[in-house]
Structure 1
Amino acid sequence: MKKWLMSLFIFFVLVISGCQQDDEVKPEDRLQEYITHWESYDYQAMYEMTAAVEQEEFIDRYENIYSDIGAEELKVNFEIPEQSDTEEENEEIASMVYPIQVSMDSIAGPISFDSEIEMKKTVEVINDEETTDWKVNWNPGLIFPQIKDGGTIGINTISSERGQIYDRNRQGLAVNESIYEMGVVPENFTENSDSEKEQIADLLEISVEEIESQLNQEWVQPHYFVPLKVVPSLAEKDLADAVSKIKPLTYQTVIGRVYPFGEATAHLVGYIAPITAEKLEEVDEGIYSENDLIGYRGLEELYEEELRGKEGIVIYAEKEGQEPVVIAEKEVENGENINLTIDIYVQNELFYALNGDAGTASAINPVTGEVLALVSSPSFDPNAFLYGLSSSTWDKWNNDPANPLLNRFASTFAPGSVFKPITSAIGLTNGSIDPDEGFEINGLTWKKENWGNYSIRRVSESAGLVDLEDALIRSDNIYFAMQALQMGEEAMVSGMKQFGIGEDLPFTYPIHSSTISSDGALDNEILLADTSYGQGEVQMSALHLASSFSAILNEGSIMKPTLLMDEKDGEVWKEGLISSEHAELLQNALRKVVTEGTGRAANTGSAEISGKTGTAELKQSQNQEGGQENGWFVGYPSDGSMIISMMVEHIEGNPDGSGYVAKKVADAINNLP
């Protein structure tokens, strides 16, 4: 009996002893708990599991360093070292060292390192009972091994160089060049400092208060250069001469964005400027900050991602008296250069031919589809947004009735009579127009009996029958209205769609889509008739009009318009629009428009020019008279090297009418090398 009781007692002791051993906290359990907090960025919980370390040093360092480097996807693994199986030896263990592997993503790319973490045994007496636990023996090397024995973590950002924009001749349209940071050296002011400040303020178009504010900054020393304003050129206001005469005024050269052709390419290229608070909300905060420049308008905005590039970042550890040690590095990626099909010589000639008139012009190569010019007039100086846009200039632009901030080449307009060759091609191809058949038209006006008070007016009376060639030469609205009514809505709409009217223009730069009418139909006789000669509700961009004329020169095909040199050119967008026989007929007629008809103003200079004039009346109703008139001319030289489409607003009252526009196009063609 006693033996049985003794055996039972020993059994319970062993069980209790075993339970106590199982309940004892193991160092790897605590380490795993610590790592869980670490991977969750719970620095407070981590701190509570460390031994003998200042809270501020621990928590603040983790928060600051991990935040600055953008630590994400943190993973920590550890290995359990081999342990002695002897119970006595295990009881004597006061610490355990575990190899760890740490990995994370950062703003400079992935970071990984191997280290060791020591778990120290702690013993606390609670209610006369000893409690054993384990804590992390922390040191800064667990953040990064490079700072285990002291040092700091630094970040160096290397700005990317913005890509440049070139034309087909490698002429820079948006380039990074030397610019001039104008400023003053305080100790160089003379006893006439007030007068000198006023002169400088007038030259740089800033206020004296702005100069004094810059001079009163805490960092300023008498011999320091104090920047005031950046300018793209010293030629402006003879700044170089002013520097030699105003003693405190000087400059230093820096690299900045410059738009060499200014207003001529402003709407096409756009500009960069400091990012606004509103813009900052629209973009990736991980890429942009409130101190960045960003593209606005045009290609600078359209290709912002490609042009901007990606900044380089170096994360490093630094100790006094030692070379920095790189922890992670992301190489800088400079922005891509954009090479355009634009020919700056054509662009400039068309812009200056418009001579400040409100209007637009486009030029294309009809065989390749390459776009040679996209012009909007009047325009603005894109350099001003970077180098000092005064409130008076901004107000002037915004209040100008001609609206220089409006990009007209991206817009659509009523084409007027330059649409007649398109109607001709549609009718010739579907067989509704017989070029040899003539209509007898009497007087200057015509209408159908059921049209009430509405009638169609033509420019001049005819002598005898009016055929297609005569109608094009004299720009006879009545002839085309009759042909459209004979053709019918279905054939006319179908033909317009074959020219791409009513669909998006397949072009890199966003151009408004041309439209047939407000609802895409021509189910009203008057609307159908008016559309035939470019009135009604039809709207087209200058680029689409130039492209449409290319069918006449390019064996019935319209090539997909291209803007980038690395785009595949010569790709057909629309084909089979007109036969070679009918195309030749139209070519002959368009030449006679210039030599005998409404386009005689273009019959100047050495170039033989063909084309079509047009006047679009902008009416609020069919019966309105005396409204705005826009003049058009779409023309090309005899070698067919380009087609130019130009529109000038408000030609009403101009005695030359659309001939005013035809002469501008002719002058541009004749001035080209």
Structure 2
Amino acid sequence: MKRKFIVLTAVLLIAMLAGCAKKESPADRLAAYTKFWNDEKFTDMYTDYLSSGTKKTFDQNEFAERQEKLIEDLSIDDLEVTYKKPKEDAEWDEEQPAVFPIHIKMDTAAGPVEFDKDLTFIYEEQDEEKHWYADWDPSFIFPGLTATDTVQIQTTKAVRGKIFDRNGKPIAMNGIGYEAGIVPGKFTDAGKKADVAKLLNTTVEFIDKQLNQSWVQPDYFVPIGKVAKTDEALLAKLIEIPGMTYQETAMREYPYGASLAHLSGYIGPITAELLEKHKDAGYTETDLIGRQGLERILEDRLRGENGVGIYMKGPEAGSTPEKIAVKEAVDGEDITLTIDADLQKKTYDAMRGETGTAAAVDPLTGETLVLTSSPSFDPAEFMLGISGERYKTLSEDPKQPLFNRFAAAYAPGSSIKPITAAVGLEAGTLKPDAGIMISGKTWQKDSSWGSYRVSRFHPEAPNPMDLNKALIYSDNIYFAQQALAMGKEKFISGLKRFGFGEEIPFALNLTPSQISNDGTLASEGQLADTSFGQGQMLTNILHLAVMYEPIITNGLMYKPTLYKDDATQQVWQKDLLTKPNADELKTDLRNVVLDGFAQKANLPDIPVAGKTGTAELKKAAGESGQDTGFFVSYNADHPNFILAMMIEHVEDNNGSGYVAELAADVYKAYYKK
């Protein structure tokens, strides 16, 4: 009897507790449902919160997996479902649906999407439990979406920005090239596949795969590979093969080819490494990306932003897609350089394929007009995917056409002497008219120099040696003595004012010019060597051109610019030369061409002024030295530009006089009527 009483009491207690437990209201169920929704836990939503009618209409795949896939495919992010909370004392009739206005918003690949909906909860029994359950249909994913609609995403490619020179001439443009292909019915010699594969840098297996596609017919054009518009020789070889032809296709063009290749760079297929590096930037495996030069440096500006559209389309044939969200494509930025592409090509052509580099600047603005490296390469080859064999040929070429010489630094030799003179003139230690008696081919200050002696190439130069004659005869001994008269501190300080030892303030990463490896001059011998551009001194070719600006501007040296919208006449250094000292050097540099060893540049109608220089690259005992020749010059009457040119291996070709000859060709081409 006692045991029955205990059991009955327990049953009554449970019943009382159950009666006292708070029943979940529609608002409670709404809060839990929307939390799962915002957390993208669609399976939990389906299992515990959807009405039986919804579950009967839509299975779990249609509900959960479809939403999960759309989130991934459409890059949906920041999904947020909100609603206005009902009053706490709100009463709910279990016989009536509970309706809640909700707001749904999200970010997608095509931009933001947001809309309002009414969410209905009904009170019903499921699995022997009564609760409020939500009615659902696909329109809660996107407005108007039905179970039979498909959601599509369409991408509109942005047009890549173009690169122009200062005169609006295209350096990199969206032009045309050619798609080379096979017409199967006319391609009767299968043995020619190997020839086609070699010419188009592909494989016979790829050609067979293309020809065996289901859509191919005997008279159809089957694309095999692309050919640059400029590669007429390759096109000629291809069409010699029966059954081969070509069609025009959109392609990036580099109209100035090799002359601007190291500067323009090129685009090419994105690699797996680059795809990983830019994984958050929307690139795909089929995209092209800037691989070298300005195409790489300016990638973010040139690329633009692809457009994306999200549409839903009914199952009926011919039904019109309805827009859900559209983000219009933003084309890449067109960029204009300060470069004069025609002058650049004239300069490159004048270098005759010799190994070297050249730069030109407008001395009155600081704008960079020429920046070239020779020899070079055709950027179109790399854009289309260069073969391993061809790349090996280029990379093993002793002239190193892939090496960008304008980014490097070289011993400037005697081309630095006007700068040494400028430092001495401003220090007051160099008196331009004061003659120095110099005899013999070599000189040393005293016996403390041991075996070191300064050598000069023209001991026949007449005494007394003043600044004008020292520049005309490029006398190393004169400049060594002037550097000693200045002393290391004044000389180093003066060179630093010309920008030695600091980063060149330029849009591209160029090797800075240096006085020495550690910026000091450890001995008088090193001081002497440095005065005429030897020792450990190195200069960048663009910086070398810029250093001549104060001679023309009476003391101002401008920051070199590359982009046309950059402010010009940005002062890098000032008060480098007084007008009298600048005028002295103007006269002397003109006389170097008139009377000195740059007479190859002494043109009848163009008064070129400038300074040659030769830097000897010393070799081991028993080996012949190699000379690097320089010529820095300008038109004395109309200094439209300062041209600095360097050519390697001039030892058997008239030394730096050969460089003056090449530079003269630039002036003749530039001023040709």
* TM-score, length of structure 2 as denominator length: 0.91
Residue matched to 1:138: 136
Shift of 1:194: 2.2
Query: How many angstroms does 1:331 deviate by?
Result: 1.2
Give matches, 1:292-441, under 5 Å. Answer: 292-321=287-316, 322-441=319-438
State the one-letter code of the partner of 1:347: Q
Q: Distance in 2 between matches of 1:661 and 1:136?
A: 85
Report Cα offsets for 1:59-87 as digits up to 9, x if no partner. Answer: 2201111111111111101246799977x
Q: C-alpha deviations, 1:230-253, integer Å up to 9, x for none?
A: 11228713747965x766333332
Choose from 113, 116, 128 the match for 2:115: 113
Residues 173 and 108 (structure 1), Cα distance of their counterparts in 2 relative to 1, 3 Å cut: same
Partner in structure 2 of residue 563 of structure 1 = 562
Q: Tell me the amino acid that sits aligned with residue 262 of structure 1.
A: G
In structure 2, the partner of 1:55 is: 60
Once the two structures are TM-superposed, the CA of residue 314 in structure 1 deviates from its matched residue by: 0.7
Quote the residue 2:95 is aligned against. Answer: 92
Give 1:2-21 correspondences, 5 Å limit: 20=19
Correspondent of 2:246 among 248, 251, 256: 251
Return the alpha-carbon distance in structure 2 between the equivalents of residues 572 and 247 of structure 1: 63
Q: Is the 8 A contact 2:95 2:123 kept in 1?
A: no
Taking the aligned partners of 2:44 and 2:90, their CA distance within structure 1 comes to 33
Contact 1:183/1:228 (CA < 8 Å) preserved in 2?
Answer: yes
Q: How far 1:588 sits from its partner (Å)? A: 0.8
Q: CA deviation at 1:559?
A: 1.6
Q: Which runs of 5+ in 1 are unaligned?
A: 1-12
Q: TM-score, normalised on structure 1?
A: 0.91
What do the CA deviations read for 1:272-315 (whole angstroms, capped 9, x no partner)? 00011122222243321221111011110111100000001111
Whole-angstrom CA distance in 2 between matches of 1:110 and 1:624: 74
Distance 1:432 1:620, change over 3 A: farther
Picking from 150, 171, 174, the partner of 1:173 is: 171
1:278 correspondence with 2:273: yes
SS of the aligned residue for 2:144 comes to helix
In structure 2, the partner of 1:123 is 125
- Higher mean displacement: 589-598 or 458-467: 458-467
Partners of 1:90 and 1:283 in 2: CA distance: 56
Contact 1:160 1:334 in 2 (8 A): yes
Of residues 430, 451, 454, the one that matches 1:453 is: 451
For 1:43 and 1:516, locate their aligned partners in 2 and report how far apart those are by CA, in whole Å: 69
8 A Cα contact 2:269 2:385, kept in partner = no
2:234 is equivalent to residue 232 of structure 1: no
Alpha-carbon shift at residue 222 of structure 1 (Å): 4.3
Report the counterpart of residue 285 of structure 2 in structure 1.
290
How far, CA to CA, are the matches of 1:646 and 1:500 in structure 2?
19
Q: Which runs of 5+ in 2 are unaligned?
A: 1-11
Distance 2:231 2:371 in 1: 28
Which amino acid counterpart does residue 405 of structure 1 have in structure 2?
L
In structure 1, how many angstroms separate the alpha carbons of the residues matched to 2:565 and 2:245? 44
Q: Would the aligned equivalents of 2:80 and 2:106 in 1 still touch at CA under 8 Å? A: yes
Deviation at 1:217, TM superposition (A): 3.3
2:78 maps to amino acid: E
Q: Measured at CA, do residues 417 and 241 of structure 1 come closer, stay the same or move farther in structure 2, by a change above 3 Å?
A: closer
Counterparts of 1:215-226 in structure 2 under 5 Å? 215-226=211-222
**Residues of 1 paired with 2:433 and 2:233: CA distance?**
64
In structure 1, give the amino acid aligned to 2:263.
L
CA–CA distance in 1 between the matches of 2:77 and 2:382? 38
Q: Which residue of 2 aligns with 1:587?
A: 586
Matched residues in 1 for 2:107 and 2:72: separation? 12
Q: Which amino acid aligns with 2:657?
A: G
Deviations, residues 584-633 of structure 1 (Å, cap 9, x unaligned): 11111111111111212211353111100100122379x99843210000
User: What is the one-letter code of the residue matched to 1:663?
Assistant: E
The SS at the match of 1:522 is coil
Q: CA separation in 1, counterparts of 2:205 and 2:66?
A: 42
Q: Where does 1:539-558 land on structure 2 (aligned, <5 Å)? A: 539-558=538-557
Q: 1:388: how far off?
A: 4.8
Q: Please state whether the residue corresponding to 1:598 is helix, strand or coil.
A: coil
- 1:97–1:119 contact (8 Å) kept in structure 2: yes
Closer, same or farther: CA 143–665 of 1 in aligned 2, 3 Å = same
1:72 corresponds in structure 2 to 77
Distance 1:406 1:234, change over 3 A: closer
The SS at the match of 2:514 is coil
- Give the deviation of 1:223 after TM superposition: 4.9
User: 2:645: which partner in 1?
Assistant: 646
- The alignment yields a C-alpha RMSD, in angstroms, of 2.5
Does 628-637 or 514-523 show the bigger shift? Answer: 514-523
User: CA 1:235/1:383 → structure 2, altered by over 3 Å: closer, same or farther?
Assistant: closer
CA contact (8 A) 1:189 1:196 kept: no
For the residues of structure 2 that align with 1:66 and 1:114, how far apart are their CA atoms? 19
Partner Cα separation in structure 1 for residue 455 and residue 102 of structure 2: 90
Deviation at 1:635, TM superposition (A): 0.6
Cα distance change, pair 235–495 in 1 and its aligned pair in 2 (3 A): closer
**Matched position secondary structure for 1:23:** coil
Which residue identity does 1:369 align to in structure 2?
A: G
In structure 1, distance between residues paired with 2:282 and 2:238:
40
Superposition deviation, residue 550 in structure 1: 1.0
2:8 corresponds to which residue?
none
**Cα distance, 1:576–1:84 mapped onto 2, change above 3 Å:** closer
Deviation track 1:199-244 (CA, whole Å, cap 9, x = no partner) reads 655664655443223212345444543211111228713747965x
Given that residues 316 and 324 in structure 1 are in contact (C-alpha distance below 8 angstroms), is that contact kept between their aligned partners in structure 2?
Answer: yes
| TM-superposed deviation, 1:486 | 1.3
Q: Taking structure 1 as reference, are residues 29 and 619 closer, same or farther at Cα in structure 2, changes over 3 Å only?
A: farther
Q: Secondary structure at the residue paired with 2:252?
A: strand
CA contact (8 A) 2:200 2:226 kept: no
Q: CA deviation at 1:29?
A: 1.4
Which stretch has the larger CA shift, 200-209 or 430-439?
200-209
Residues 553 and 660 of structure 1, relative CA distance in 2, 3 Å threshold:
same
Contact preservation (8 Å) 2:338, 2:562:
yes
CA distance in 2, matches of 1:501, 1:20: 90
Q: In structure 2, what residue type is equivalent to 1:106? A: T
Instruction: Quote how far apart the aligned CAs of 1:556 are.
Output: 0.9
Distance of 1:571 and 1:109 partners within structure 2 = 41
Contact between 1:122 and 1:132, CA under 8 Å: does it hold in 2?
Answer: yes
Q: Measure how far apart 1:197 and its partner are.
A: 4.2
Conserved in 1, the CA contact under 8 Å of 2:148 and 2:315? no
Q: Which residue number in structure 2 is paired with residue 497 of structure 1?
A: 496
For residues 531-562 of structure 1, the C-alpha deviation after alignment (integer angstroms, 9 at most, x for no partner) is 11111111111111111101101121112211
Which SS does the other structure have where 1:535 is aligned? coil
Q: CA deviation at 1:391?
A: 2.5
In structure 2, the residue matched to 1:7 is: none
Measure the CA separation in 2 of the matches of 1:253 and 1:440: 72
- Give the distance between the partners of 1:164 and 1:376, measured in 2 at CA: 22
The 10-residue stretch of structure 1 (229-238 or 53-62) with the greater mean CA deviation from structure 2: 229-238
Given that residues 25 and 132 in structure 1 are in contact (C-alpha distance below 8 angstroms), is that contact kept between their aligned partners in structure 2?
A: no
Q: Aligned pair in 2 of structure 1 residues 530, 173: CA closer, same or farther (>3 Å)?
A: same
Q: Which moved more, 1:284-293 or 1:365-374?
A: 284-293
Count of residue correspondences: 649
Contact 1:80 1:98 (C-alpha < 8 Å) held by counterparts: no
